[in-house]
Structure 1
Amino acid sequence: MNTPAVQGTEARTARITGEDGLVSLRQEWLHPAIVDPEMDSMRLLSETAMRFPEALSFSSGAPYDGNHDLAALSFHLERYVKHLREKGLPEERITRTLFQYGPVNGFIQDEVALMLKRDEDIDAPPGSIMITHGYQEAALVALRGLFSSPDEVLLTVSPAYVGIRGAARMLDIPVRGILESGPDGLDPETVRESARALRAEGKRAVALYLVPDFSNPSGTVIPLEARRRLLQVAAEEELILLEDNPYGLFARDGETLPTLKSLDTTRNVIYLGSFAKSAFPGARLGYLVADQPVTDAEGTTRLLAQELSKAKAMYSVGSSSLSQAVIGGILVENDYTLRPATRELAAVYLERLDTVLDALAGHFPAERHEEHGVSWNEPRGGFFLTLRVPFTADLAKMERSARDYGVSWAPMSMFHIEGGGYREIRLGFSNLAPEAIREGIARLARFIADTPRD
């Protein structure tokens, strides 16, 4: 007689093999993260943009691409090769560095460490840095290393970038959202309360994910004093802070705040960075800084980034050597600082932000709010802002907006961890020229005016 396990296996085999002998699968057999419709939202946004190419898109956060130059790729590659020669590396080793598999954690840690010191005042030894395939791999690697039990929970600001929720979902890590509290974003005392509430439930908050500077999707900035209090809470509640900082270089002059990592005196922060915004997204290169010492049973101590290399080795073996060389060349050419090199780019983004705010004020005057029911926040930088509308803003309405009005946007509900944001939309303006922004807001105003309140 077959055991239940064997019977189940046979039944499954019978169901997936058709009369033609070809295998097919049922969706419910896949991992829950693959089946979860919430994991599909960003793909649906992209597909909507492809289906309606004439629509002006506020739905993405793509960087400005008007400064891309094909000649710069070869220049920066050659600049890095020259840098290696100046360091005395033999030609054979240089060739192997570019053409062969490289170290799992990358080979431009020295250059990134210098950049972090000059741009962010972060003292990161090269061994604490891992070069990754963009932010997303950095998040996956960090989460995989930190979480080992189903009772361990990831806290995250809500609304949050969908990539962190997706990474946690793929790794079966439970997530608890902490709502932003107004224009200053995350309240440190709410973080403390959330960690203690989880302990009361028999669970443990291991880490907190946040974007302190110009958060995606809301554009909020955590003030300096709140950053200091957040570090204190993290130390007291034994929390690791996962600080994601893709937009910090693009603050207005005189408004740059120190990163959490630069203020971190207790090693409670893992810093997640990317060159997608500061260089170009096609490089698919990011990094994490994990300088926490890890001691094994024999008493040997290594930095957390070195321990996490085991996870990265299984995810991707290593990061692209050519991408590392190009980014390395950019860093060398700019004397290991990207702040001066990105000031013109920052001016582009700030002009676009100001254009969005001006256009919104023109179409939706504050004194006529009862008539149009529209309001918004006013971030000081970044790529996004949040628009509140008098109807439920879902994917179906976004598609109608793109199809019939020629303008697309992102429903804020897809960024909320545990529900919310149903009457809000995210406007991403980073890759739209000012004239396109003005036309796009005009189209959006017509869509809003024609959409019944609910």
Structure 2
Amino acid sequence: MGLDRAPEESPETERAAADNRAAFDRTGLRPGRSVRPGPPDTTVKILDRPWAAPIALGPAAGRTDRPALLRAADAAGLPVVHPLARHDLAHREPPAAGSAALLLPLGSRDGAGPPRPVPGFLPADWAEVERLCATSALPVLVAGIRTASDAARALEAGAGGLVTDSLAALPELAAAVDGHRPLLLGGGVRTGADVLVSLASGADAVLVRRPVLDALLADGETDGEAGVAEVLATLVRELEQAMAFTGTASVAEARPESLRIGHRPPPARPRPGPDAVYPLRKAELHPSLSDPVLDTMTFLNEVTHRFPDAISFAPGRPYDGFFDTEQIFTYLRGYLDHLRAEGATEQDIRTALYQYGPTAGQIREIVADSLRKDEDIDVPPESIVITVGAQEAMLLVVRALTAGPEDALLVASPCYVGITGVARLLGVPVTAVEEREDGFSCADLEAAILRERARGRRPRALYVIPDHSNPSGTTIDLPTRRALLEAAERHGILLIEDSPYRRVSPGTPLPTLKSLDRSRRVVHLGSFAKTVFPGARVGFAVADQQVVDEEGRTGLLAGELAKIKSMVTVNTSSLSQAVVAGALLAGDGRLSVLNAEPAAYYGDALRTTLRALDARLPEARRTALGVRWNEPTGGFFLTVQVPFRADNAALARSAQEFGVIWTPMNYFYPQGGGHQALRLSTSYLTTADIEEGTERLARFIEAQAPAS
């Protein structure tokens, strides 16, 4: 296939690219060490979209609507920027499908300063820029920005982002833009090290042009997709290597200090006038806010919103059919009757419902009774803290247990993103203990503990979901549970046991770690989100560990958690606690009785999904494809291994072309992994949805899998 003629570059643009190359060649990188374990994270979110790396394909890569180029970019999780040329407006042609933004060059300037048109491009002035920014369905990147005044004019005109062709101008422009819009460098980038130099100099991303054009030119016998894919993969790999060398853990952490020469810091901010408004710099906020783990669910929600007719195996939430609005009032009245029977006055009841209530919770006795009856967990009420969902319980426990930078949290991996999110927000290092195909291994846990101590760290606890875990659906067997308790005691760590799926699963569950705990090594977390209803936002932590202060006085860890909670949420909603207590009282304290019907429903949904998968992809066919899945006996989730990269790009294709949504498993691996697996949630779907959804999923897998 012949190569379409690329847009002409102005002499100024060509000179700027040459200047950039000279500057890149003069600039070295300083070695450094990351404070976080694991490989560097290249992902970013720009123009309200996640990118696999801060790299976009620019217009000098030939026609950016070439199918081969678009396919290669989509597979790499990178965006394509479409140039807005004269013929686009003259013929009112839509932008290329797959474009992330439109590029509007201002053109070169004469001695007087006004823009002169670049051949083939729209001769844009500022009025035209403002009109196009206001009418375009895609963000408009204004190119040709070289001064702070240019940047200010572009922001006033409504530009979605700014592109400069001058590496030297980046610090000044970054200070002028101040994080209000993305700033891209558009010339001279050839290597991953160039990308990192650009980021450290103030860019949010780069436009790659010449390397992609060279790949298309070199691939004379095919359409060029393979060559472009290789160029993009090499750039991302080199960027990872440069980040690892400099100790840059994530793109947001790229700093000028990583550069040896060739950098000048951004000028000081101008003194604000009386009416000046300056945005906050993202770089000055907590670094966890730039961590992709906090954006994973956002992307999933965006996909769900964009494709409302797709069948979604993504949401891990209870089925709405079991919720009866009037039941809330029945539960509430039941709790009020309970208070009266206990001798509470009407004033006591008003206080219990309308006031803040005790920080540790006002239904601890009822929860303790339920735990004794249902879980054989016999603890005093004062060892329980009622929390705003189990998520707050995780935050309280991790904050209490980690006293300094040497303290680390171990997690069974893959793991629930809520616990890794808490650790990132608190700045606590996370060490993954990978599950094997045959389950969790205590030998792997002990090896991880020893490695952490050899590195000068102090492992404080292991977070684990023993029953029907989120995301994998696996359950830890009884011998391993006992071995975990022995290992925790031997190595002096705690076990943080999360238990949201026990009472929404059919059959008799295995004993909890806490019920087997004889040396107070387990902090047990629970939630009523799945068993009563999510909107109540009521969870709890059982923390009966003794805490001794310097004077020898003893208390319970629960009391320390309550102190932290008093500075976070003050208390859990009294009204929500009342409704949950009423539900527990209605079942005589037994969630197993209260949830018998939902548990049977969820079990049927899981079995229906497994049968449907087996029918759509019989054993011989899935063996040929390299597809397999596990078979949980309860909970909401199962894992499907596939022979291709199951990332955001694959998810978008699955939703758009096949009408089925799932969750990439790589979301759940804190130190990388799970790239060829997806999570299915079965809890929220009807039988008809499951049958149709698995049919669509099988067709997607067949289409996505390599030819066999």
Matched, 1:222 2:222: no
Equivalent residue runs for 1:206-245 within 5 Å: 206-245=460-499
Following the alignment from structure 1 to structure 2, what is the Cα–Cα distance between the partners of residues 373 and 452? 9
Higher RCO (CA < 8 A, seq sep 6+): 1
Which one of the candidate residues 516, 519, 522 is aligned to 1:269?
522
Equivalent residue runs for 1:343-354 within 5 Å: 343-354=596-607
Matched, 1:421 2:674: yes
Equivalent residue runs for 1:162-177 within 5 Å: 162-177=417-432
TM-superposed deviation, 1:293: 1.2
1:318 partner letter: N
Residue matched to 1:61: 316
Which one of the candidate residues 538, 541, 557 is aligned to 1:285?
538
Matched, 1:315 2:568: yes
Given that 2:313 and 2:660 are in contact with CA atoms closer than 8 Å, whether structure 1 keeps it comes out as: yes
Residue matched to 1:398: 651
Given that 2:408 and 2:459 are in contact with CA atoms closer than 8 Å, whether structure 1 keeps it comes out as: yes
Residue matched to 2:333: 78
Following the alignment from structure 2 to structure 1, what is the Cα–Cα distance between the partners of residues 417 and 698? 27
Following the alignment from structure 1 to structure 2, what is the Cα–Cα distance between the partners of residues 56 and 62? 15
The answer to which of 296-305 and 324-333 deviates more is 296-305
Query: Which structure is higher in helix share?
Result: 1
Which one of the candidate residues 349, 356, 371 is aligned to 1:101?
356
1:230 partner letter: L
Residue matched to 1:189: 443
Given that 2:313 and 2:663 are in contact with CA atoms closer than 8 Å, whether structure 1 keeps it comes out as: yes
Tell me, what secondary structure is at the counterpart of 1:273?
strand
TM-superposed deviation, 1:264: 0.2
1:127 partner letter: E
Q: Which whole-Å deviations, capped at 9, do the CAs of 1:105-152 have from their partners, x for residues lacking one?
A: 110000000000001000111000000000100000000100011111
Tell me, what secondary structure is at the counterpart of 2:420?
helix
Tell me, what secondary structure is at the counterpart of 2:589?
coil
Given that 1:119 and 1:338 are in contact with CA atoms closer than 8 Å, whether structure 2 keeps it comes out as: yes
Matched, 1:148 2:403: yes
Identity %: 48
Given that 2:565 and 2:571 are in contact with CA atoms closer than 8 Å, whether structure 1 keeps it comes out as: yes
Equivalent residue runs for 1:5-44 within 5 Å: 14=269, 21-44=276-299
Unaligned regions of 5+ residues in structure 2, if any? 1-265
Equivalent residue runs for 1:118-137 within 5 Å: 118-137=373-392
TM-superposed deviation, 1:39: 2.0
Q: Which whole-Å deviations, capped at 9, do the CAs of 1:23-66 have from their partners, x for residues lacking one?
A: 21222222111011232101211222122111111112011111
TM-superposed deviation, 1:19: 10
Residue matched to 2:453: 199
Using a 3 Å threshold, how does the CA distance of structure 1 residues 246 and 12 change in structure 2: closer, same or farther? farther
Aligned length: 443
Given that 1:364 and 1:372 are in contact with CA atoms closer than 8 Å, whether structure 2 keeps it comes out as: no
Q: TM-score, normalised by structure 1?
A: 0.94
Given that 1:331 and 1:338 are in contact with CA atoms closer than 8 Å, whether structure 2 keeps it comes out as: yes
Tell me, what secondary structure is at the counterpart of 1:190?
helix
Q: TM-score, normalised by structure 2?
A: 0.61
Following the alignment from structure 2 to structure 1, what is the Cα–Cα distance between the partners of residues 271 and 582? 51
Equivalent residue runs for 1:329-368 within 5 Å: 329-368=582-621
Using a 3 Å threshold, how does the CA distance of structure 1 residues 192 and 49 change in structure 2: closer, same or farther? same
Following the alignment from structure 1 to structure 2, what is the Cα–Cα distance between the partners of residues 115 and 23? 53
Equivalent residue runs for 1:369-388 within 5 Å: 369-388=622-641
Following the alignment from structure 1 to structure 2, what is the Cα–Cα distance between the partners of residues 17 and 63? 51
2:283 partner letter: E
TM-superposed deviation, 1:409: 0.4
Which one of the candidate residues 345, 360, 382 is aligned to 1:90?
345
Following the alignment from structure 1 to structure 2, what is the Cα–Cα distance between the partners of residues 47 and 69? 29
Given that 2:293 and 2:417 are in contact with CA atoms closer than 8 Å, whether structure 1 keeps it comes out as: no
Using a 3 Å threshold, how does the CA distance of structure 1 residues 15 and 82 change in structure 2: closer, same or farther? farther
Following the alignment from structure 1 to structure 2, what is the Cα–Cα distance between the partners of residues 45 and 241? 30
Residue matched to 2:14: none
| RMSD over equivalenced CA pairs, Å | 1.8
Given that 2:625 and 2:705 are in contact with CA atoms closer than 8 Å, whether structure 1 keeps it comes out as: no
TM-superposed deviation, 1:251: 3.6
